[in-house]
Every structure is written in C-alpha cells, then in structure tokens.
Amino acid sequence: MGSTSATVAVTGLGGLAYGLLLFVVAAGLKLILGVMKVMNLAHGASYLAGTWLAYLFADGTLTGLALALAAGLAAATVGGAGLAALLRPLAGHTEQAVVTLGLGGIIAWLFSRISGGSSLTVPRPGLLDGHLSFAGHGYPIYHLAFIAVAALIAVAMHQVLHRSMAGIALRAAIDDPPIAATLGLSATRIRIAAITVGTALAVGAGVLGAPVLGPAPGVDATVLTLSLIVVILGGAGTNIRALLIAALVVGMVNYVGAVVAPGLASFSLFLVVIAVLVVRRQGLRTAVAA
Amino acid sequence: MTTRNLRRQPTGRAVRLARTIAATTGVLMLTAAAGCAGSSLDTTANDTPSGDTITVGLILPKTGPYQSLGEDMAEAWDLYLELHGGKLGGHTIVTKTADEGTDEATARKSALKLLDQDHATVLVGSASAVPSAVIAPLAAARHVPFIGTGGRPSDKVMPDVSYVWHTSWQSRETGAAIAPYLAKTIKGSVYAIGPAYTGGYDQLGGFTDAFVKAGGKLANPEGGNAPGGNAFAETPFPGTKDYKPYLNKVRASGAKAVYTFYAGADAIQFVKDYRDAGLSDVPLYAAGFLTEGDALESEGANADGIFTVLNYSPTISNQANAELVQDFQKKFNKTPTLYNVTAWDAAQVLDLAIAKASATPAGSPSSAPATGPSSAGASLAASSPASAGPTANGSGSASATTSAGSVPPVTGQAINTAIAGLGQINSPRDTFRLDPASHAPIQPFYLRKVQSDGRSRSNAVIATLIPAN
C-alpha cells in the first residue's frame, strides 16, 4: 500500500507540468492582449497546430523534436505576420476578436477533418521515454524534462522583459503607447513582433507539450479557456511572476483537486477563480479606503 | 449638425463596413474552400421505388468523436451488399445515407430526410444512444423498422421498441458479463473507474451491481460509501485530458485489479496514463471499447496485456468469422472490428427478413416455406455453428428471387414482422437471436487479451464468458 502523501506528491508533479504548460501559452496570449489590446481567440488553435507539427515530425528522436520546434517557430512567424495583416483593416477590438474566433474554428475543423476526429498519440523521444517509480507511483520522464524546459522559458522571459532593451521597449509600448511612440518606437513593428512572439509561444508549447496534452478534438478550446483564466487571474500589468503563480494555481487545482476532492473536480477551478477575483476586489477596496 | 458632418459620417462607416466585409469574406472563402473536401456515400442508383428495389436509409456518425465508428459501419454495409450482388432477400437495395451527428437536432433532421424525402423502407445505423432515441419514434410512426448498430438507449429514454431492433448490445450487459468471472478469479478487491455520463453509469453500473452480487469487493472508496455500496470512481466527462491524478489513488487503495470503461479518444488517453502512472503490475480489465478498432492502433504497445470483455473478437473460431476476417483482409487490409460486425449483421438480418417477407403474402405473417429463415435458423442451430457461413443467407436470397417487375413492394411493416420471427442468426460473433421483449441480441460474450504478433495487435479470445445460445 502506498501512502496518501506520495499520491498527492506525484499528482502535484502533474499539476506543476500542466501549470507550466499553461504559463507558456498564457504568456503568449497576454503579450498579444497587452500590445494589440485583442483577445486572440485563435490562440488555442495555435497550440493545437503545434501539437500537430510534433505529431508529424515525431520519429522517436530528439532531432525529430527539434525539427518540429523549428517548423513550429517558422509557422508561427508566417502565421503571426498573417494574423497581424488580417486584423489591421479591422477597427474595433471586438471585430478583431471575432475574426480570431473564426480562424481558430477553421484550424480546429481542418484538424478534425485530417485526423478523422480521433485523438493522436505523439510518441516521446526514446531518450525521454518511460517513467520513474517511487512509492508504487510512476511519473513519465518526459514530463520531468518538460517541467525543466518550461521553467527555463519562464526565467528567460523574465530576464528579457526586465533586463533587455527589447523588453523595456515592449513594456513601454504596452503601458503607454503614445509616450512610446514619441520615443521613436515603431508601433507597427512592436505589434508584429508581439503577435509573432505570442503565437510562437503557443505553437512552441504545443510542440513541446504534445506528449503531455496531445492533438485531440477539443484541446484547442481547453487550452484557450484555461489560458484565458490564467491571464485574468494574473491581473493587469506586465507581471511575469503573477502570471506564473496564476498558471501554477490553475494546474494544481486541476490535478491535486481531482485527488483531494474528486466530487468537485468538474468545477473546482471555477470556485477558485471566483474566490480569487472577489477577494482581490475586496483587497483593492480596502486599499483605497485606507 | 452640419451637412458636411452628415456626409462624412456614413462615408467613414461605409469604409469600415467594407473592410469588415472584406475580412469576413476572406474567412468565409477559406471555410468554403475547405468544405469542398466533403463527399457523399450515396449510391447513385435510380430513385424511383419499384417492386423489386428497397430503399435503406443508413444513418451514421459522419462528424464528431464517433466519425471513425461510422466509417467502420459503412464499409461493412457496403461490403455485404457487394458480396451479395447489391441485393438483400432478392431485392435490389438503394442505400441513402445521412449524418446522425452528436446532437438530437442533427439526428432528427437526418432521420426525416431519409424517411420523408428518400422514402426509406428501413433505417439502419447509429453509433450513439442519443441519436437512436430520436430516430426510433420517427421511424415507428411511419411503420419503418430501425436496426440499431451501436449504443442502445435505456428503456426510460426509448420506451417503445416495437419497430426498433439492435444488432449491437445493451449498455449494462458488457460489465455484467465479466463481473462473476472477476469476483471469482481476483484474489482481493477491484477498483472500478469510469466517465461520469449516461454511458459510464450504464457500463460501470452493470459491472458493479453484478460484481457485488457475485461476492466481489470494490476497492474504490465510493464502493463502500454510496447508497447501495456499488458505485465507481467517476472522472468528469467530457473534458478529462489526464487520468493520472485519478489513477494515482489506485495504488493507495490496495486494489488487485482495475475495471473500467472508456471509448474513442478517452480510451487512448486512459491507456497511456495507466502505464505512466506505474500501474503495469495491476491487471487492467475493461469493456472491449477500450481497445477496439482505431483506439487499439493508436494505443500501440501500451495496450499489450489488457483484458477486455466484448461480444466480438476477430479471433473467434467459426466459419462466419473466418470468412469475414478473410473478406476484410482482402478488401481493406485490416481485421474487422465490433462496429463492422454490428453493421454486417444488420445487413444479414435484413437479408433474411426481406426474403421471408417477400415469400409471405402481405398480411399473413405465418410460417414461410423452405426459405423461411426461422426454419433456416433452426437448421443452423442444429448443425455445428462452424459449418454455416454467410453463404447460408445467399441461399435465402436466391430462392426468394421471383421474376423482377411483377414483385409486389415489401412494406416496412412486413419486414418488421419477419425480423421478429428470425430465430437464431449465424453471426461472426457466433449465433445470437433477437430477444422478443427487448429486441436486443441474446448473445455470447468473450474475455479477450490484447496480443501482438510482432506485426499487428489484436484482441485475442482467451475464454468464453457467456456461451452462445
């Protein structure tokens, strides 16, 4: 008999991997939202496209994975630039959001057409296949590697945003576009850069995350919904740390919640979201009153 | 407000509108271009119903998660017709198809199209219980028999079965068939887990009720706490993308085996997570859908060693199955699945019933002459099941062929009456008969194990749980 604490610990690892996956996707969504002021509702489809590329290139080697990643980044560059061009003639953010919703729907539909509506299993590179065992519980090696890589991405993102010139320009463009323009920062270039990098984060997460959350009908909607929740929980402003904490909370509630309170599994996440939003609102009021 | 302002406003709006339209049109054109990929299964035979042609409406999932099951059914139906000269019971068959969809509205629209526009005499198909419940009353109101080939709704949802027949199974049967076996052979408790929706409740409930009754002990905590003491561990449905958190509790429960039901995409995910959760030393038992058809192909080596219970396996040894396996290998280069067999048997039931209805003068459903499948069925049952294959139906078809042109049309009502009198049917799953009360098969169930011969994987029969009648 294994102990309950081991059960929770292994499940927590799952929550960590899922939370970090959502963090990378949500960071892309947040970047596009911050610069373009548009909720990119095709973002979940970008993730799906990444998992699809991983499936196409997967040959059980790390080279296959690297090729898939390169193809994903190329596709994100083309797709991001295309999306920027498509959204440009549209005046309102609502109209732009609706167009992204339609695009996402088309990508998801094409996928289900090609896959015949079935869910595809992406093989893991041989080096990272198999699982580690402790206290009678298993955990896939690939997922551990994914946790490490996603954590590196989070650190790198933080460094770029706060330590590099590009990051400072980006934050300026998000926080105060008119002033940024007066400083000679090209709004168009920043827009295209933001949408491309944002899409690349979703596609890249899809490529690397495919063995964790693979290409299947409906995965685009799941990823979109959860990363929207992460962005909302992460709050306003360019705060990488808040976004990371929000993503980990969502991941943990999804996983550990299923073990601790299985009866609530279907809606426990929404209970947490409502609680956080209400408490934060109250906190703001208290702060203003003081 | 000046005239200039009045003039400028609409112009600005018009430009914006034009841009919006341009963008929308672009999106729509993409959609339309992609939509051209669609195709139709419909045969292009003449539409005019005459005495010797019968229109069959084939209603299958062409979209949604069960799309591949629909493809399995269509290929078996087409193959049966191809091997029998396009005829059932001596009548040329015109097949019209429609999508059952995943919701009630699509199923209703498709059923009405087949019934009222194509004037189908018989409806065949459906993978899921939801569309079946919608199709059944529409068909019954027009005295059109409906031969279901997939999930069957419970009596509560579909109370009137007078025109409904199923060649598939009843949802609670599968688990109930394996329960006594597990209660006897597993030395310890069994962890029952499944999806929280109607299909899951029926499949797992059928298992846990029979398992507890047979003296088995459930390991999942829900098994002791719930009223009746026989519930299973539920996973949210739809939308569970990772079963590891739920499976992590199996180890702590001390279970000696796991019993489950998942199908399609969920099955693939569950099998993968079962291995990743390090449970390979805990035997996994399941309803056969877990490792059926496309799912088994995607699961690959992860599925090796899984035990399942189902009313079919391509390794059943009888003449009808040997021929079916051979025909499928030749035509599609694959082994048949359960959904191939339910559709195949629907064609077979109609072949026998139409022959019988044609031989019997309308209005007098008394015993038919030599061609009567009731007598044919009896003789099949008397002889060894291995001796008679689908060729037995061929003889039925041939003797029913009176000269074309002068044949009176066969009504749905006559076919329905004929189905009721079919008796034993010789199927690749082994002989079964349609229960006169439930209109569902009384049939054998098999314990199967996923085995690989190096080239391909299959669900090999290792025991018969409920023998053929």
Q: Give the A window 104-123 contacts with B, CB below 8 Å.
A: 106, 109-110, 113, 116-121
Nearest to A117 among B27, B65, B279 (CB): B65
Residue B239 contacts A, CB cutoff 8 Å = yes
**Which of B322, B338, B282, B449 is closest to B69 using CA atoms?**
B338
DSSP class of residue B215?
Answer: T
Q: Least CB-CB distance to B68: which of A6, A118, A138?
A: A118
d(CA B393, CA B421) in angstroms, rounded, equals 15
Does residue B245 belong to the interface with chain A, where contact is any CB pair within 8 Å?
A: yes
What is the C-alpha to C-alpha distance for residues B237 and B260, in angstroms, rounded to an integer? Answer: 14
Give start and end residues of each alpha helix (H) in B115-263. 129-141, 173-185, 198-213, 222-225, 244-253
- Chain B residue numbers with beta carbons less than 8 Å from the beta carbon of A118 are 65, 67-68, 264-265, 268, 294-295, 298
The answer to whether the CB atoms of A266 and B71 lie below 8 A apart is no
Which candidate, A175, A160, A162, A154, places its Cα nearest to that of A245? Answer: A154
A91–B contact, CB cutoff 8 A: yes
Residues in B 448-467 with any Cβ partner in A closer than 8 A? none
Residue of B nearest to A211 (CA): B272
Helix, strand, coil share of chain B (percent; to 5): 45, 15, 40
- Where helices occur in chain A by DSSP H, the ranges are 4-36, 43-57, 62-87, 93-115, 141-163, 165-175, 177-182, 187-209, 219-234, 240-260, 268-289
Give the β-pairing of B164-166 and B146-148.
Answer: parallel
- The shortest CB-CB distance from B278 to any of A14, A119, A137 is to A137
Cα angle: B34, vertex B35, B41; to 5 degrees: 130
Q: Which of A1, A4, A8, A11 to mutate to test the interface with B (most CBs of B within 10 A)?
A: A11
Which residue of B lies nearest to A89 if distances are taken between CA atoms? Answer: B19
Q: Are A64 and A128 in contact (CB under 8 A)?
A: no
**Amino acid type, A264:** L
Cα–Cα distance list, B32 to A28, A217, A218, B427 (Å): 30, 21, 22, 44
Residue B371 per-residue DSSP state = T
What angle do the packed helices A240-260 and A4-36 form, to 10 degrees?
140
Whether the CB of A269 is below 8 Å from some CB of chain B: the reply is no
Is the N-terminal amide bond of B238 cis, ω within 30° of 0?
A: yes
Using alpha carbons only, how large is chain B's radius of gyration in Å? 25
Q: Which of B244, B256, B274, B297 to mutate to test the interface with A (most CBs of A within 10 A)?
A: B244
**Chain A environment of B299 (Cβ under 8 Å):** 121
Nearest by CB to residue A10, choosing from B248, B268, B275, is B248
Task: Supply the ipTM of this predicted assembly.
Answer: 0.79
Residue by residue, pLDDT tens for chain B (469 residues) are 333 443 444 445 455 545 555 555 554 444 444 433 333 444 444 444 456 899 999 999 987 767 888 999 999 999 999 999 999 999 999 999 999 987 889 999 999 999 999 999 999 999 888 889 999 999 999 999 999 999 888 788 889 999 999 999 988 899 999 999 999 999 999 999 999 887 888 899 999 999 999 999 999 877 765 555 568 999 987 778 889 999 999 988 999 999 999 987 789 889 999 999 999 999 999 999 999 988 898 899 999 999 999 999 999 999 999 999 999 999 999 889 999 999 999 999 999 999 999 886 554 444 434 343 433 333 333 333 333 344 444 444 444 444 444 556 899 999 999 999 999 999 999 999 999 999 999 999 999 999 998 788 999 999 999 876 5
Residue among A99, A131, A136 whose CB faces B251 most closely = A136
Q: Check residue B237 and report its DSSP letter.
A: T
Shortest CA gap A198–chain B (Å): 22
DSSP per residue, B84-104: TTTEETTEEEEEEEEE--SSH
CB distance A189 to A200 below 8 Å: no
Indicate yes or no: CB of B246 within 8 angstroms of CB of A119: no
Euclidean distance between CA atoms A68 and A51, whole angstroms: 9
Looking at residue B387, its pLDDT comes to 38
Q: Which position has the token pair 């300026």?
A: A172
What backbone torsions phi and psi does residue B287 show, to the nearest 5 degrees? -65, 140
By the 8 A CB rule, do B56 and B73 touch?
no
Give me the total of CB pairs closer than 8 Å, taking one residue from chain A and one from chain B.
128
Q: Which residue, among B133, B136, B139, has the nearest Cα to B171 in the 3D structure?
A: B133
Helix (H) or strand (E) holding B400: helix B391-400
CA-based nearest residue in chain B for residue A110: B34
Inspect the interface and report whether the beta carbons of B249 and A7 lie closer than 8 Å: yes
Assess contact for B165 and B439: CB atoms under 8 A: yes
Distance from CA of A252 to the nearest CA of B (A): 11
Helix (H) or strand (E) run with residue B193 in it = strand B190-195
| Confidence at residue B154, expressed as pLDDT on a 0 to 100 scale | 79
Instruction: Please say if the pLDDT value at position A171 is more than 50.
Output: yes
In CATH, the number for domain A2-289 is 1.10.3470
Please give the Cα distance from A269 to B324 (Å, whole number): 50
Which of A38, A121, A223, A250 best tests the B interface by mutation, with the highest count of B CBs <10 A?
Answer: A121
Q: Which of residues A164 and A1 earns the better pLDDT score? A: A164
Q: How many CA atoms lie within 13 A of B357 on its CB side?
A: 28
The confidence score (pLDDT) of residue B38 equals 36
Burial degree of B25 (CB within 10 A; 0-12, 13-18, 19+):
exposed
Task: Choose from A119, A132, A141 for mutation: most chain B CBs within 10 A.
Answer: A119
CB A259 within 8 A of CB B249: yes
Which residues is A139 bridged to in the sheet?
A132
Q: For residue A209, is pLDDT > 80?
A: yes
Between the alpha carbon of residue B246 and those of residues B149, B249, B261, the distances in Å are 32, 6, 14
Print burial letters for A5-38: b (CB count within 10 Å at least 16), e (below 16): ebbbbbbbbbbbbbbbbbbbbbbbbbbbbbbbeb
- A1: pLDDT strictly greater than 90: no
Task: Collect all residues of chain B within an 8 Å Cβ-Cβ radius of residue A89.
Answer: 19, 22-23
Q: Does the beta carbon of A225 lie under 8 angstroms from any beta carbon of chain B?
A: no
Nearest to B341 by CA among B423, B446, B414, B421: B446
Q: What is the pTM of this model?
A: 0.77
- Euclidean distance between CA atoms B10 and B22, whole angstroms: 18
Helix (H) or strand (E) holding B345: helix B338-359
Q: What is the distance in angstroms between the Cα of A279 and the nearest Cα belonging to chain B?
A: 28
Contact A139 B276 (CB under 8 A): yes
Please tell me the distance in Å from B426's CA to the nearest CA on chain A: 32
Nearest to A89 among B23, B64, B239 (CB): B23
State the smallest CA–CA distance between residue A103 and chain B in angstroms: 7
Tell me the pLDDT of chain A averaged across its residues: 89
Across the interface, which of A118, A137, A213 has its CB nearest the CB of B277?
A137
Whether B293 and chain A come into contact, CB under 8 Å, resolves to no
CB contact under 8 A, B241 and A91: no
Of B337, B274, B300, the closest CA to residue B68 belongs to B337
B242 vs A: CB within 8 A: yes
Q: Which positions ≥6 away from B355 have C-beta within 8 Å? A: B88, B89, B90, B371, B373, B396, B397, B399, B400
DSSP code of B218?
A: B
Does pLDDT of A24 surpass 50? Answer: yes
Residue-range domain boundaries for chain A: 2-289
Concatenated DSSP letters for A216-256? -TTHHHHHHHHHHHHHHHH-SSS-HHHHHHHHHHHHHHHHH
B236 to chain A: closest CA residue:
A266
Q: Which residue of B has its CA nearest to A114?
A: B37
* 7-46 of A, contacting B, C-beta below 8 A: 7, 10-11, 14, 18
- Collapsed DSSP state (helix, strand, coil) of residue B22: helix
pLDDT-derived band at A205 (thresholds 50, 70, 90) equals very high
Interface check for A131 against chain B (CB to CB < 8 A): the answer is yes
